[in-house]
Amino acid sequence: MLVHVPAPSDPYIQGRDKTAELLAKKSEKKYITVMAVNNHPFSRGIVHIRSSDAKEKPMFEPRYLSHPLDLEILARDTPYLESVVKTEPFASLLKQGSRLPEGADPTTLEGANELVKERLLSTMHPARTCAMTPKELGGVVNDRLKVHDAKNLRVVDASVFPLEPLVIYEKRCMLWQRRPRTSSKMAGSHRLK
């Protein structure tokens, strides 16, 4: 049996409404977005099964900024981004004095902290929710993608990646899904369906 952790676009994931709200068009003016992205956060989210019904979607809580370093890193990137948009030739392409959100002051660390807390978005590439690590270290699956203490249950998706890739990783997932079949053949066990 293969277990699939849901795609981040599913509406039951907490915080989805905030993402749609932040990305909604607020006026007919033209805007660009300049942002910092922390692809290797220290914060760790959780995924929990809601019931014994395999069709019931799990509860997913990303716990963004639960580690203080994540806020610190993003807040310190914010003033740097301000300097980038004020540097030529970029600066001459932008209308001076207009920004979203209006009145935000990312030039101070306190202002940047508030801006990050208010405007934080996911890059929608969740990974590492089912760590391929020994059980005693908090792992969920072994190196053959079998779930610890379960019979014939494997996880074959991005949730077992040890680090979040810096790219969209559909092809990596497709290659990853071949791994248990290959390792099962090599081990002489039955092929997965």
Q: What is the pLDDT of residues 66-120, one digit of tens each?
A: 999 999 999 999 889 888 888 999 889 888 777 667 777 888 899 999 888 888 8
Given 40, 48, 67, 125, the catalytic residue: 125
pLDDT recorded at residue 163: 72
Lowest mean pLDDT among 103-117, 123-137, 161-175: 161-175
Contact (Cβ atoms closer than 8 angstroms) between residue 43 and residue 158? no
| Residue environment code for 29-63, b if the CB has 16+ CB neighbours within 10 A, otherwise e | eeeeeeeeebeebeeebebeeeeeeeeeebebebe
Side chain identity, residue 121: L
Q: What are phi and psi of 149, to 5 degrees?
A: 65, 25
pTM above 0.75, yes or no: no
Q: For all residues of the chain together, what is the average pLDDT?
A: 76
| 190 among known catalytic residues | no
Q: Among 20-29, 77-86, 180-189, whose mean pLDDT is lowest?
A: 180-189
Segment 129-142 mean pLDDT: 86
Q: Kindly tell me if the per-residue pLDDT of 13 is higher than 50.
A: no
Say how far apart CA 163 and CA 2 lie, in whole Å: 21
- 14 pLDDT band, cuts 50/70/90, is very low
Q: Is 19 helix (H, G, I), strand (E, B) or coil?
A: helix
Which stretch of DSSP H or E encloses residue 3? Answer: strand 2-3
What is the band of 20 on the pLDDT scale with cuts at 50, 70, 90? low
pLDDT above 70 as % of the chain: 73
Separation CA 12–CA 2 (nearest Å) = 21
Query: How confident is the model at residue 189, as a pLDDT?
Result: 47
